[in-house]
């Protein structure tokens, strides 16, 4: 992996690491996603049976990085789990001299086939009214197939697309492709 050379990206990466290290002490979940050119880390914390918070970051060695954090309302009904929420994000595209940021409403849906197998999808969208610093919008889509070989660990195979529209450079894709995931539950 190449070293981050952009000063703002380095500061954002260090801030995310500090946040994640301090959040791990109270986390109910820690996840890692790997692809050929990117890595993502995240922590999740259930606040109650109907609400949760999460913080995550993604670094792509050729395209830049993104951090986000948010809150969501969660509902479980039989084999269906869905959530609606809002996240704040900051994105740093390689080659840009500024960090775009904003707020993205969205949610997720999951269908369990058994206790050890499910599919999930999530989508967040930040319209121009909620996007700032030359960011016109942000779209984040993630879908994954999850297998839990044991209660405290899950493996996943997923597809992720993160795209922002910038006022000075048009659409920029931060990640578009498959990834392997590993999650730990505490």
Domain boundaries along the sequence of the chain = 7-185
CATH architecture of 7-185: Beta Barrel (2.40)
Is beta strand 51-60 parallel, antiparallel or unpaired with respect to 38-48?
A: antiparallel
Q: How far, in Å, CA of 168 to CA of 52, rounded?
A: 35
Q: How far, in Å, CA of 32 to CA of 40, rounded?
A: 6
What pLDDT is stored for residue 23 in this prediction?
A: 44
User: Can you give the pLDDT of all 186 residues of the chain as single tens digits?
Assistant: 344 445 555 555 555 555 444 444 455 899 999 999 999 999 999 999 999 999 999 999 999 999 999 999 999 999 999 999 999 999 998 877 778 999 999 999 999 999 999 999 999 999 999 999 989 999 999 999 999 999 999 999 999 999 999 887 788 899 999 999 999 998
What pLDDT is stored for residue 186 in this prediction?
A: 85
Residue 82 token pair: 């869905």
What pLDDT is stored for residue 169 in this prediction?
A: 76
Q: Cα dist. 31→56, 112, 153, 183 in Å?
A: 9, 19, 10, 4
């Amino acid at each position: 992996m190449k070293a981050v050379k952009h000063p703002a990206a380095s500061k954002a990466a260090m801030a995310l690491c500090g946040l994640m290290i301090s959040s791990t002490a109270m986390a109910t979940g820690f996840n890692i996603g790997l692809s050929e050119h990117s890595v993502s880390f995240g922590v999740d914390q259930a606040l109650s049976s109907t609400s949760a918070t999460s913080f995550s970051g993604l670094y792509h060695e050729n395209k830049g990085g993104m951090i986000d954090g948010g809150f969501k309302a969660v509902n479980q009904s039989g084999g269906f789990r869905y959530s609606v929420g809002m996240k704040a994000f900051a994105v740093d595209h390689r080659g840009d001299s500024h960090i775009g940021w904003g707020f993205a409403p969205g949610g997720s849906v999951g269908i369990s086939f058994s206790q050890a197998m499910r599919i999930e999808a999530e989508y967040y969208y930040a319209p121009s009214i909620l996007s700032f610093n030359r960011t016109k919008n942000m779209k984040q889509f993630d879908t994954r197939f999850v297998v839990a070989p044991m209660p405290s660990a899950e493996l996943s195979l997923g597809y992720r697309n993160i795209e922002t529209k910038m006022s000075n450079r048009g659409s920029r894709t931060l990640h578009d492709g498959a990834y392997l995931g590993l999650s730990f539950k505490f």
